[in-house]
Structure 1
Amino acid sequence: MAGFLVALRAERGLAENTVRAYRSDLRAYRGWLAERGITDLAEVDEATLRAYPGWLAETRAAAGVATSAATTGRMLSAVRGLHRQLFRDGTLPTDPGPALRGPRRPRRLPKALSIAEVTRLIESAAGDDPVSLRDRAILEFLYATGCRVSELTGLVVDDVQTLERVDDAPPLDVVRLRGKGDRQRIVPVGACARHALDAYLVRVRPALAARGRSRSRLFLGVRGGPLSRQAVWEIIARAGRRAGLPEHRVSPHVLRHSFATHLVSGGADLRVVQELLGHASVTTTQIYTRVTEEHLREVYATSHPRAHRATPAQGRPPEPAPVRDDGGSEVTD
C-alpha cells in the first residue's frame, strides 16, 4: 500500500490532502478484508469486491456519517487504483478492480454569482484598515485569476510579475500559478486586482511580514504567518455576510466558477478559459457552456411574455385578419 501512495504523489502529482484521504480509504479497506480473514490481496476476487460498497454504506450509515456520492466514489477509486497498480507491477496475478462500481454522481452545474453580486462582494471590503485592504486584494485576485484557494495560499511575492511587451504595447501584469500535479500556468491580472494588490503590498504586507517568518508568501495573516485555506474561506464568508449574500453561495470556488462563467458568457474561447483555469482537458471546461445555456433559458423563460404554452383559459392566439386587395381576393401573407 505504501508503494501505491508514493506513486500517487510522485507520478500523478496528487496533493498531500488527497494522498492522505487515499491512505485512510485503503486502511478501511484492509480492515474490512481482515474481518473476512483475507490477509493477502491475491485472494480478493470480483465477488469479494462487489460486496464492499454495500458494507461501506451500511457501516458509515450506522456510525451516523453522511457520505456523498463523490466521497464514496473516491473511496472505491482508491481500492481500484491499488489493485490496478499491484497487477501492473506483477505483484497480483489478476485485477478484480473493474468489478468495483461506485454510485453514479449527479452532474450538477456550478453555481456562479452574477456580475452585480461579485461587485457587491468585493465592495464589501471597502475599509482603509490593514485587514480590509488585504481582504480586498484577496477577493479581487480570486475573481481576476480564477485560481483555486490552494493556489492562492501557495503564492510567493515573486509569482506576480509585470511583462514588458514589444511594439509599444502596455506592460502586462501576470501571475504564475501552480495547479494540480504541480502544473504551472501564467494568468493575467486585471487592473482592478493589480490596484488592490499594490495597495496591500505597499501599505499592509511589510508590517505583517515583520511579525512572522513567512517573508516570501504573498498573502499573510495578521500574525505574519501564511494564510491557510480555512482562513481564506472565512475571509470570503465574512465578505459575503457583509454583502448580504446567502452563506451557501459564497466560497473561493464560487468565485472561480464566476470567473469562468463570466468569461464564457462574454465570448471567450473555451480553449483560452481551459488554459486560464488549468484544466487538463477541455471536457472539464465545457461545463461552463452549459451554465451559460442554462442561464439563457432561465432569462428567456422569465422575461419573454410568450415563453410558456398558452393555458386553456388563454385559448389560441388570434388569427391575423385577412386583408383584401383591389381584386377582392384575401391576402394573408
Structure 2
Amino acid sequence: MSASGASIDDFLAMLAAERGAARNTILAYRRDLELAQEQVGRLDAASSAQLGQLAQRWSALAPSTVARKLSALRQFFGFLADEGLRSDDPTSALARPAARRPLPKILSHDQIAELFAQAEEDAAGGSAAGIRMLVLLELLYGSGLRATELVSLPLSAVPRDEPFLTVTGKGGQARIVPVSRRARVALSRWLEQRDSESPWLFPSRKSHLTRVRLFQLVKALAVRAGLPPEKLSPHVLRHAFATHLLEGGADLRALQTLLGHADISTTQIYTHVDAARLVKLVNERHPLAQRGTSD
C-alpha cells in the first residue's frame, strides 16, 4: 500500500472511531479521496495548484456532491495537520460551492393539525392500522425520528414507565428521545392491539415495517386529510418537528441532540425562521427593549 493510501486509511479509521461517522459516509469519503488521488497524484503531498485542477473537473457535478468532496478533502488535510504530517492547507484553492443545500418542504401548524385530526379520527374506531398510523405520526412529528430509526425500533426501545425512547441513529450512535404524553397514550393503545411475537415495535411479515411502506402510509394519510400528498413525507414531518421547536424558542444545541446530528452545521439548516419573527423577538425580548427609546 502507498504512503498516501495509508494516510487515507488512517483518516477514515479516525472518522469511524473518534467521530462515529456512518458507514455510508466512510465509503463516500473513500471514493472521493481515492478519485482525487487518481486525478492529482499522491494526495497527501498535493499542492494548492494541483488541488485547484479539481475545480474544473467538478464543474458539472451537483452542488451537494461538490460540497461532500470538498468536506472530505478539508477534513483529510486537517487530519494530516493534526498528525504533524502537513503544516499547510492546500484546499484553500478550492472555493466552496455557491448553492446552498435545499430546504425540505415546510408544513404549517394548521396542516399538522389537519393531519392529526384525520389520524385521530382513523384511530377512534379502534382498528390496528389506524392506531399504528397515529403512533407513527406522533413519533415522526412529536419526537423527530428519522424514517429508518422509526420503522426499525425494537420493542425493547419502549420503556414501561419512562417518557423516552432509546434510538440508534446514524453511525450506530444511541440517543434518548423524549416521548410526549399524547404519544405514550397512543403507544399504549398500539401495544394492546399489536398481535405479534416479533421483536420489532412495528412488525411486518418476517421483519419490520419498511421505509417505503412508511412513505406510502404518510402519503395516504395526507390524501385522507385533504392535503397535497406531494407535500408530505416522513422527512417533511421530521423537518416540521425541528422548525416548530425552533419557532417555539428551542435552543439549537438541544435541537442538535434531539435530531441526532453529529455536527451542529447540519442542524443549522432548520434555522430558516423568517426575518420578521426575528425582529419581533429582539424588540420584545432583548433587555434594551424594556428601557424604551431615548428622547
- What is the TM-score of this pair, normalised by structure 2? 0.73
What is the alpha-carbon distance in structure 1 between the residues aligned to residue 265 and residue 24 of structure 2?
25
Equivalence for 1:12: 19
8 A contact 1:86–1:92 mirrored in 2: yes
Equivalence for 2:201: 218
User: Aligned with 1:161: secondary structure?
Assistant: coil
Equivalence for 1:262: 244
Select the structure that is richer in helix: 2
* Cα separation, partners in 2 of 1:178 and 1:45, compared to 1, 3 Å: same
Equivalence for 2:39: 32
8 A contact 2:36–2:43 mirrored in 1: no
User: Aligned with 2:159: secondary structure?
Assistant: strand
User: Aligned with 1:134: secondary structure?
Assistant: helix
* Cα separation, partners in 2 of 1:192 and 1:74, compared to 1, 3 Å: same
8 A contact 1:143–1:256 mirrored in 2: yes
Q: Per-residue deviation at 1:46?
A: 0.6
2:186 maps to which of 178, 193, 196: 196
* Cα separation, partners in 2 of 1:78 and 1:230, compared to 1, 3 Å: farther
Q: Per-residue deviation at 1:93?
A: 7.2
Equivalence for 2:136: 138
Q: Does 1:55 align with 2:44?
A: no
Equivalence for 1:326: none
Equivalence for 1:246: 228
User: Aligned with 1:5: secondary structure?
Assistant: helix
In structure 1, give the amino acid aligned to 2:106: A
Please show how residues 121-200 of structure 1 align to structure 2 within 5 Å.
121-125=115-119, 126=122, 128-163=126-161, 173-180=163-170, 183-200=173-190
In structure 1, give the amino acid aligned to 2:205: R
1:74 maps to which of 68, 71, 85: 68
In structure 2, give the amino acid aligned to 1:19: I
Identical-residue share of aligned pairs (%): 39
In structure 1, give the amino acid aligned to 2:12: L
* Cα separation, partners in 2 of 1:82 and 1:119, compared to 1, 3 Å: same
8 A contact 2:166–2:174 mirrored in 1: yes
* Cα separation, partners in 2 of 1:30 and 1:242, compared to 1, 3 Å: farther
Give the structure with higher Rg (CA).
1
What is the alpha-carbon distance in structure 1 between the residues aligned to residue 257 and residue 76 of structure 2?
31
Q: Per-residue deviation at 1:294?
A: 5.3
* Cα separation, partners in 2 of 1:162 and 1:18, compared to 1, 3 Å: same
Structure 2: 5+ residue runs without aligned partners? Answer: 1-7, 280-295
Q: Per-residue deviation at 1:270?
A: 5.6
User: Aligned with 1:10: secondary structure?
Assistant: helix
Q: Does 1:44 align with 2:51?
A: no
What is the alpha-carbon distance in structure 2 between the residues aligned to residue 27 and residue 283 of structure 1?
26
8 A contact 2:44–2:77 mirrored in 1: no
8 A contact 1:174–1:186 mirrored in 2: yes
- What is the TM-score of this pair, normalised by structure 1? 0.66
1:291 maps to which of 263, 270, 273: 273
What is the alpha-carbon distance in structure 2 between the residues aligned to residue 88 and residue 289 of structure 1?
32
Q: How many correspondences in the alignment?
A: 268
What is the alpha-carbon distance in structure 2 between the residues aligned to residue 78 and residue 119 of structure 1?
41
What is the alpha-carbon distance in structure 1 between the residues aligned to residue 127 and residue 235 of structure 2?
26
What is the alpha-carbon distance in structure 2 between the residues aligned to residue 19 and residue 230 of structure 1?
25
Structure 1: 5+ residue runs without aligned partners? Answer: 61-66, 164-171, 210-214, 298-333
* Cα separation, partners in 2 of 1:234 and 1:14, compared to 1, 3 Å: farther
